Amino acid sequence: MLTQEQNDRLTRVGRGTPAGELLRRYWHPVAVAQELTDQQPTLFVRLLGEDLVLFKDKSGRAGLLADHCSHRGASLLYGRVEERGIACAYHGWLYDCEGNILETPPERNDAIMNSVKHTAYPVQKLAGLYWAYLGPLPAPCIPPYDFLVREGTPRVTVTRPVLDCNWFQCIENTVDPTHAAILHQDAENRRAVPVNTTRGFIDDEPSFDFWRVPFGIMKRRNFANGESDEHPFIFPYILGGGGALYRVPVDDTHTWCVSVSVRPREEGGEDEVEEAVVTYTEPFKDPPDRMHPFTRMKMNTIRQQDFMAWETQRPIADRTLEHLSFSDRAIVAMRRLMVENIEKVERGEDPLCVIRDPDHPVIDTIGANNLNQTGGKTGRGRPYGITTGTLMDQPLKGTGVESGR
Ligand code: FES
Ligand SMILES: [Fe+2]
């Protein structure tokens, strides 16, 4: 159970908030690259509570500007892209990708052009997506995770609609292995039927391990038949495991889920395909634009079941009312990791997973040829390459989760 202040500290994403400042140290996916075309050269983006317009000018450069024009506030979404940038549709103020004002029709106002700078953020394109950085300069690099930088065809899956809930409850789910045996017991690809719907398949999973790894937390579900299954939580909000699921904080009460991976080119296969394969999921609720309880969540697939759980925890989960149990211990550890890194930012230090070396080697989150630190293998016979870390198998004192199951 948290205090309201602790909950706000972990969840709020606006500029000047503790988590908002932490999140402003990372690059975030903001749009599917293919959606920005010559026919549609502007896209609206909301990220970390900021309203922005992504555009591609006629020289091919991409920019990300604050939505409201610095003149009198019309949206730049309706601006005309030109060779040198984007011109506001209302009176034609012309902005370049850095937010410089190049023209102020109907008159030329040098004082404004020299003194006013429109909010502009760095953008780059990688793995079929545009990425944005809203923090202090110089910007770090997008960490070269294996699932982003392999040679091959990028694959992007976009969840529609955007989730009507805070980002943090989505990522708590990443270190919550017990729910899989209960919530997902009747997902449509389950082959077995549980003997008991209350316990689902939980008795097939006698134990779990969590340990800190250089980029976050690894979790492992140990099955009664001797197999196990592992997934990394990659700081600050990625679920890894072959590809990666990003939970992008749109604002305090909305989260954009986008999966991305680059399928490795096959030996002797075709040349790298630049164009990503993009899939949009069906709406997961009916009607799709309403919130609980004025909509009905679909409960067929694992994803839909997760979305039901996340959205119905309330727009921002109220952690002043929760009662954590021992199996929630990794959630406590994850909150601590988040607080540790919020404090690092407050001290002026770089938080976890901020990488500044452009030549940083590829970060192996799968580790095809390595065993993890305890020597375990996944149920798919594919070990992860994690060699360091601290096992988190001890009860967490003072957190209300001190008894075992
Ligand atoms: S409101 Fe944009 S130019 Fe006037
Ligand atoms: Fe799940």
pLDDT tens for each residue of 45-62:
999 999 999 999 999 999
Q: What's the mean pLDDT in 136-160?
A: 93
DSSP symbol at 282: P
| pLDDT category of residue 241 using cuts at 50, 70 and 90 | confident
Between 402 and 153, the more confident residue is: 153
pLDDT in tens, 218-228: 888 899 999 98
The answer to whether residues 19 and 31 belong to one domain is no
Quote the ligand 1 centre to 276 CA distance (angstroms).
Answer: 36
| pLDDT category of residue 30 using cuts at 50, 70 and 90 | very high
| pLDDT category of residue 275 using cuts at 50, 70 and 90 | confident
Query: Distance between CA 265 and CA 152 in Å, rounded?
Result: 5
Q: Report the 10 Å Cβ neighbour count for 245.
A: 22
Q: Quick one: pLDDT at residue 123?
A: 98
Quote the ligand 2 centre to 303 CA distance (angstroms).
Answer: 7
The answer to whether residues 103 and 191 belong to one domain is no
Q: How many CA atoms lie within 13 A of 305 on its CB side?
A: 14
The CATH number of residue 257's host domain is 3.90.380
Query: Distance between CA 213 and CA 221 in Å, rounded?
Result: 16
Atom nearest to 69 CA in ligand 1: 2
| pLDDT category of residue 272 using cuts at 50, 70 and 90 | low
Q: What is the mean pLDDT of the chain?
A: 88
Which tokens in the block code for residue 314? 């309330």
Q: Which of 133, 160, 190 is the last residue of a domain?
A: 133
Pocket of ligand 1 (CB under 6 A): 69, 71-74, 88, 90-93
pLDDT in tens, 184-203: 999 998 878 998 999 999 99
Quote the ligand 2 centre to 106 CA distance (angstroms).
Answer: 56
To the nearest 10 degrees (0 to 180), the angle between helices 4-11 and 329-346 is: 70
The answer to whether residues 186 and 286 belong to one domain is yes
Q: What's the mean pLDDT in 274-278?
A: 86
> What proportion of the chain, given as a percentage, has pLDDT over 90?
73
DSSP symbol at 283: P
Q: Which ligand is nearest to the CA of 106?
A: 1
Pairing of strands 27-32, 129-133: antiparallel
| pLDDT category of residue 72 using cuts at 50, 70 and 90 | very high
Q: What's the mean pLDDT in 243-256?
A: 96
Question: Which residues, listed in sequence order, are joined to residue 82 by a DSSP beta bridge?
Answer: 85
Query: Distance between CA 370 and CA 383 in Å, rounded?
Result: 6
The answer to whether residues 170 and 282 belong to one domain is yes
Say whether pLDDT at 393 is over 70: no
Q: Report the 10 Å Cβ neighbour count for 397.
A: 8
Q: Determine contact, residues 65/86, Cβ cutoff 8 Å.
A: yes
Q: Quick one: pLDDT at residue 318?
A: 98
Closest residue (by CA) to atom 1 of ligand 1?
72
Say whether pLDDT at 376 is over 70: no
Chain CA centroid to CA 105, Å = 40
Q: Report the 10 Å Cβ neighbour count for 297.
A: 15
Say whether pLDDT at 373 is over 80: no
Q: Quick one: pLDDT at residue 391?
A: 45
| pLDDT category of residue 306 using cuts at 50, 70 and 90 | very high
Say whether pLDDT at 316 is over 50: yes
Identity at 15, one-letter amino acid code: R
Quote the ligand 2 centre to 168 CA distance (angstroms).
Answer: 15
Least confident of 241-245, 280-284, 303-307: 241-245
Quote the domain boundaries for residue 383.
Answer: 1-24+140-405
The answer to whether residues 185 and 299 belong to one domain is yes
Quote the ligand 1 centre to 74 CA distance (angstroms).
Answer: 6
Q: What's the mean pLDDT in 347-367?
A: 90
The answer to whether residues 47 and 109 belong to one domain is yes
pLDDT in tens, 121-138: 999 999 999 999 999 999
Q: Which of 88, 109, 133 is the last residue of a domain?
A: 133
Q: Determine contact, residues 240/147, Cβ cutoff 8 Å.
A: yes
Atom nearest to 91 CA in ligand 1: 3
Q: Which residues surround ligand 2, an ion (CB under 5 A)?
A: 306
Q: Determine contact, residues 95/102, Cβ cutoff 8 Å.
A: yes
Q: Which of 82, 107, 133 is the last residue of a domain?
A: 133
Q: Determine contact, residues 217/223, Cβ cutoff 8 Å.
A: no
Q: Which ligand is nearest to the CA of 74?
A: 1
pLDDT in tens, 9-24: 999 999 999 999 999 9
Query: Distance between CA 175 and CA 284 in Å, rounded?
Result: 23
Q: Which ligand is nearest to the CA of 305?
A: 2
* 3-state secondary structure (DSSP) of residue 228: strand
The answer to whether residues 121 and 168 belong to one domain is no
The answer to whether residues 254 and 166 belong to one domain is yes
Quote the ligand 2 centre to 304 CA distance (angstroms).
Answer: 9
* 3-state secondary structure (DSSP) of residue 182: helix
Query: Distance between CA 304 and CA 162 in Å, rounded?
Result: 13
Q: What's the mean pLDDT in 82-94?
A: 98
Least confident of 209-218, 241-250, 368-377: 368-377
Atom nearest to 88 CA in ligand 1: 2
The answer to whether residues 119 and 170 belong to one domain is no
The CA-to-CA distance between both ends of the chain, in Å, stands at 19
Pairing of strands 277-280, 152-158: parallel
Q: What's the mean pLDDT in 344-358?
A: 97
Which tokens in the block code for residue 59? 């020289």
Q: Report the 10 Å Cβ neighbour count for 403.
A: 8
Closest residue (by CA) to atom 4 of ligand 1?
91
Atom nearest to 92 CA in ligand 1: 3
Quote the ligand 1 centre to 71 CA distance (angstroms).
Answer: 5
Q: Quick one: pLDDT at residue 266?
A: 66
Closest residue (by CA) to atom 3 of ligand 1?
91
Say whether pLDDT at 394 is over 80: no
Say whether pLDDT at 114 is over 80: yes
Quote the ligand 1 centre to 43 CA distance (angstroms).
Answer: 18
How long, in residues, is the chain?
405
Say whether pLDDT at 182 is over 70: yes
Atom nearest to 76 CA in ligand 1: 2
Number of domains in the chain: 2
Atom nearest to 72 CA in ligand 1: 1
The CATH number of residue 67's host domain is 2.102.10.10
The answer to whether residues 239 and 384 belong to one domain is yes
Say whether pLDDT at 377 is over 90: no
Which tokens in the block code for residue 1? 């159970």
Q: Report the 10 Å Cβ neighbour count for 9.
A: 18
The answer to whether residues 78 and 149 belong to one domain is no
Which tokens in the block code for residue 93? 């103020």
The answer to whether residues 394 and 250 belong to one domain is yes
Atom nearest to 70 CA in ligand 1: 2
Q: Quick one: pLDDT at residue 365?
A: 80
Contacts 24+ apart (CB under 8 A), 182-185: 183/305, 183/306, 183/309, 184/302, 184/305
Q: Which ligand is nearest to the CA of 176?
A: 2
